[in-house]
Structure 1
Amino acid sequence: MRIDCPCCGPRGVAEFSYGGDGTLRRPDLATREAEPFAAYVYDRENPRGSHVELWHHIAGCRHWLRVTRNTLTHEITGVEMAGRFASDAARLEGQGA
């Protein structure tokens, strides 16, 4: 499997570390109940088909990426920057950079 890193170009999956489900949202830190946090940490689905995942480019630019991958065929249909650099990448892309 190859991931097309926006910074480094196409790279083998061995350069990346899987970071988990890219659709999870952390519960509000003001919540005092343990159940939402336990669900956030432990409850996981095993989706079939297209799914958004987080991957860390550990042997390259060290950026976090949001990868849309088909879990049945491993076909990658989308890769974008994740985290604080995502808005910078989108802005630069809009400028033709």
Structure 2
Amino acid sequence: MQTFPCPFCGPRPETEFHYAGDLGNLRPEGFMDVSDQTWSDYLFAKHNRRGESAEIWKHLTCMEVFTMTRDTVNHRVLSSQALLGEGEGV
């Protein structure tokens, strides 16, 4: 079993986490009026990059959402950090 680093709780078993999608996959603006193709691309088209991938994850134990950067070739976690709220950070 792989261990993932929660930025709030520390290293935990991967079974405590839920993948929430690619970082930067933003919901289309005016989503009630977008085409079926645009909506389908948002929901189902994944980048599936080889190598470094920035993703959003949720730790089901503490219920916090954070970003994790992984190498999809060797499954190594490169970093994890809390998502910045509106008005925080640079």
The TM-score by the shorter chain falls in which range? Answer: 0.7 to 0.9
Q: Secondary structure of 1:40's match?
A: helix
Aligned alpha-carbon RMSD (Å): 2.1
| Unaligned segments of structure 1, at least 5 residues | 92-97
Higher-strand-fraction structure: 2
Higher-helix-fraction structure: 1
TM-score normalised by L of structure 2 = 0.80
Following superposition of structure 1 onto structure 2, how do residues 42-53 of structure 1 map, counting pairs within 5 Å? 42-53=44-55
Distance in 2, matches of 1:30 and 1:17, equals 25
Pairwise CA distance, 1:22: 1.9
Aligned to 2:4: 3
Name the count of aligned residue pairs.
86
| Unaligned segments of structure 2, at least 5 residues | none
Runs (4+) of structure 1 exceeding 6 A deviation are none
Following superposition of structure 1 onto structure 2, how do residues 34-45 of structure 1 map, counting pairs within 5 Å? 34=35, 35-45=37-47
**Cα 1:30/1:71, change in 2 over 3 Å:** closer
